[in-house]
Structure 1
Amino acid sequence: MLGNFTYENPCRVHFGPDALDDLPGELAKFGPRVLLTYGGGSIKRSGLYDKVIAALDAAGKSVVEVPGVMSNPTADKLREGAKVARENDVDLILAVGGGSTIDYAKGVSVSAWTEGDPWERLYLNMEQPTGKIIPVGDVLTMSGTGSEMNAGSVITNHEEGLKIGHVFGPEVMPRFAIVNPELTFTVPDYQMRAGIFDAFNHIQEQYFSGTDDNTSDYIAEGLMRSLVHASRIAVKDPTDYEARSNISWVCTWALNTLLACGKSTDWEVHMLGQAIGAVTDATHGMTLSAVALPYYRLVMPYGREKFARFATNVFDVPAEGRTTEQLAEAGLEALSAWMDEIGVVRHARELGLTEELVPAAVRATIILDGGYHKLTTDEVERIFRESL
């Protein structure tokens, strides 16, 4: 492993069918005023809302709510939540839902006491929060983003045609996460599949970079193998607890900063996917699946050895009789076959991207330089057109 790093993750994870039993103990560690945020009505239909409210009542908390967090939280919604959190001087933000709800809670936590417009300062200009940061806790209902145990927050501004993620410091990471895989059973099949690929690509973004012998890459390979195995079971039987529990745990570890230790990382697939999301408001995981293979086929010649290793160590592609290039290409074919097997979107036109919207998506794409090849604007456009 090359370079220096500091690893810190203050999030305490309660995992398993009885994880919600640990919520009262966590709530007791914070002050009396809680902002509860969640999405649509699914947590009320499932009965989870009532259980969370009961825990809050038992802990003697005064609760204000910001419901209606959308799948791609907007700048306007962020401003609304920041205003509620500030006016009520809340001591904790409790997010109940999937990655978007938790991303939103972290965004509110850094925005409430930051002066000025939070979208402009914290996302557009990538400034650091200037006021106090409100602690966040979460009850996870959908696995995929890893937001339950990291400091990332992605916000969309439709007026500006932008979707931007800001990864803050450890002080923004949730203080606790309640992860009961059974709660993910209520997630629609489409969202489950999107979450699986989202997590897989989180690992890829950290794996397809660097040339040193890095422990993180060995961990990444094990996580990818586990996710591929569990996903094949879950798409046939979404209520298989063992498969869904393994998916949940992989998703958490895929993006809690561990795999990035001692590494450069890529994240260009996410920049491309977020650009599609900015112009279409499509489901995040599916925007990634639409552009991943066009991107990896383009950059593979610049990192051929790692792609060959991916083929052998993740998808068990035999190396005998193949050149490095042939093995690398076979690995991408194996990836393609698995993506078809789990039923993720392969064409961005299914998400609403059209020839006419490609220029807007190109403008919304942030080009990074952490991977094997830094894209040109022409290559970004080429990837989008190939994805259609």
Structure 2
Amino acid sequence: MLGNFCYANPTRLYFGEGSLKYLPEELAQYGENVLLVYGGGSIKKNGIYDQVLAALKASGKRVVEDAGVMPNPTVQKLYEGCEKVRQNHIDLILAVGGGSVCDYAKAVSVSAYCSEDPWEKYYLRMEDVDNEIVPVGCVLTMVGTGSEMNGGAVITNPDSKLKIGHVFGDDVFPKFSILDPVFTYTLPRHQMVAGFFDIMSHILEQYFSGTDDNTSDYIAEGLLRSLIHSSRIAAEDPQNYEARSNIMWIATWALNTLIAKGKSTDWMVHMIGQSIGAYTDATHGMTLSAVSMAYYRHILPYGLPKFYRYAVQVWGVDPQAKSEEQVAAEGLERMEAYMRQLGLVMDITALGVTEEMLDGIADGTFIMDGGYKVLDRDEVVAILKESM
């Protein structure tokens, strides 16, 4: 296992059915003014809003609402949230929703008291936080991003067609997160399966890097096998508690920094997918599924031993009487079959991408250097064309 590292995760998790009962004891640690952040209103239809609001009122909190967080939170929305924090002297931001809502809450937490434009400082220049940070808590209603236990915050600028994620330090991690798998039951199937693939992509982009014998890779393989098993069950029976609870737990561990320890990491699928999202406003997990097969087939020759291992250890490919290349290719074939079984989007045209957008998407794609092949712009364009 290569590389030295320090590992700490400050987020306190409450996991399981009925875990919202722990919210009042967390609220007691913060001041009176709470910014309640949520999305398009689904939490009002399924009753989660009423439960959270009751806990806030019973705890004597003054609640300021910040509703309407979109699936790809915009910089304009970020500015609105920052103004609400400042005007109302907010002591805690409580995010109730999925990854976009949690991401947005963290972006507001670092941006509200930033002395300059936070888009410029944190998303274009990627600078560290040097101002007051408003604490964040999360009540999770959709799984996929792992945002409930990490410092990531992705924001989209529609004017410049850029969607950028900044991974902040552990002082930006949520102070607490409440994970009740039952809260995910009413999610529409399209969003549910998109979340499943977002989880898979997070794991793969940390797995497909490095050549050493790394414990983190063994953990990743176990998470992948569990995800594949449980997602197939949940796709048939969305209210299967065992499957949904397993998936919720996998999503958290897929991106809470644990399986990246001692490794380089890739993230090119996310970079391409996020650029597509900036142009189309498509569901994040579907932008990843639409480009993944083309990307992984492109880099397979450069990381053949790991793709061979992936095929055998994750997809159960029998290596007998087959070449290393044949085994690796069969692993990707099984992955593709699984993706189609879930009903994931498999080409970018289905997301609204046109030939005219390809150059702009390629220009908006950040090139990462942690994977088996550092792409150039022409390769990004080729992968996009292969994904159409």
Q: What TM-score range do you get, normalising by the shorter chain?
A: over 0.9
Q: Report the TM-score, using the length of structure 1 for normalisation.
A: 0.99
Residues in 2 aligned to 1:172 and 1:295: alpha-carbon distance in whole angstroms: 32
5 Å-filtered alignment, 1:338-357, equals: 338-357=338-357
What's the CA shift string for 1:186-230, capped at 9, x where partnerless? 110000000000000000000000001100000000000000000
**1:165 correspondence with 2:169:** no
| SS at structure 1 position matched to 2:4 | coil
- 2:72 corresponds to which residue? 72
Unpaired stretches in structure 1, ≥5 consecutive residues: none
- 1:113 corresponds to which residue? 113
Residues in 1 aligned to 2:121 and 2:80: alpha-carbon distance in whole angstroms: 16
- 2:139 corresponds to which residue? 139
* One-letter amino acid matched to 2:374: K
Regions of 4+ moved over 2 Å: none
| SS at structure 1 position matched to 2:385 | helix
* One-letter amino acid matched to 1:337: A
Residues in 2 aligned to 1:87 and 1:112: alpha-carbon distance in whole angstroms: 10
What's the CA shift string for 1:15-44, capped at 9, x where partnerless? 111111111111111111111100011001
* One-letter amino acid matched to 1:64: V
**1:287 correspondence with 2:295:** no
Residues in 2 aligned to 1:86 and 1:323: alpha-carbon distance in whole angstroms: 62
- 2:195 corresponds to which residue? 195
| SS at structure 1 position matched to 2:371 | coil
TM-aligned CA deviation for residue 346 of structure 1 = 0.2
What's the CA shift string for 1:61-91, capped at 9, x where partnerless? 1111110000000000001101111222211
Residues in 2 aligned to 1:104 and 1:186: alpha-carbon distance in whole angstroms: 22
Does structure 2 conserve the Cα–Cα contact (< 8 Å) formed by 1:37 and 1:105? yes
- 2:234 corresponds to which residue? 234
- 2:84 corresponds to which residue? 84
Residues in 1 aligned to 2:143 and 2:28: alpha-carbon distance in whole angstroms: 26
Residues in 2 aligned to 1:79 and 1:129: alpha-carbon distance in whole angstroms: 17
- 1:257 corresponds to which residue? 257
5 Å-filtered alignment, 1:1-388, equals: 1-388=1-388
Residues in 2 aligned to 1:41 and 1:34: alpha-carbon distance in whole angstroms: 18
Residues in 1 aligned to 2:379 and 2:3: alpha-carbon distance in whole angstroms: 31
Does structure 2 conserve the Cα–Cα contact (< 8 Å) formed by 1:115 and 1:130? no
* One-letter amino acid matched to 1:156: T
What's the CA shift string for 1:99-143, capped at 9, x where partnerless? 000000000000011111111111111111221111100000001
| SS at structure 2 position matched to 1:14 | strand
Residues in 1 aligned to 2:196 and 2:3: alpha-carbon distance in whole angstroms: 31
* One-letter amino acid matched to 2:243: A
* One-letter amino acid matched to 1:60: G
Aligned length: 388
* One-letter amino acid matched to 2:5: F
Mean CA deviation greater in 25-34 or 292-301: 25-34
Residues in 2 aligned to 1:329 and 1:149: alpha-carbon distance in whole angstroms: 34
Does structure 2 conserve the Cα–Cα contact (< 8 Å) formed by 1:113 and 1:130? no
TM-aligned CA deviation for residue 326 of structure 1 = 1.1
Residues in 2 aligned to 1:354 and 1:231: alpha-carbon distance in whole angstroms: 31
Residues in 2 aligned to 1:8 and 1:81: alpha-carbon distance in whole angstroms: 29
Residues in 2 aligned to 1:381 and 1:357: alpha-carbon distance in whole angstroms: 10
Residues in 2 aligned to 1:357 and 1:98: alpha-carbon distance in whole angstroms: 29
What's the CA shift string for 1:288-310, capped at 9, x where partnerless? 00000100000010000000000
* One-letter amino acid matched to 1:185: Y
* One-letter amino acid matched to 2:130: T
Residues in 2 aligned to 1:126 and 1:36: alpha-carbon distance in whole angstroms: 27
Mean CA deviation greater in 234-243 or 284-293: 234-243
TM-aligned CA deviation for residue 3 of structure 1 = 1.1
Residues in 1 aligned to 2:360 and 2:83: alpha-carbon distance in whole angstroms: 31
* One-letter amino acid matched to 1:112: A
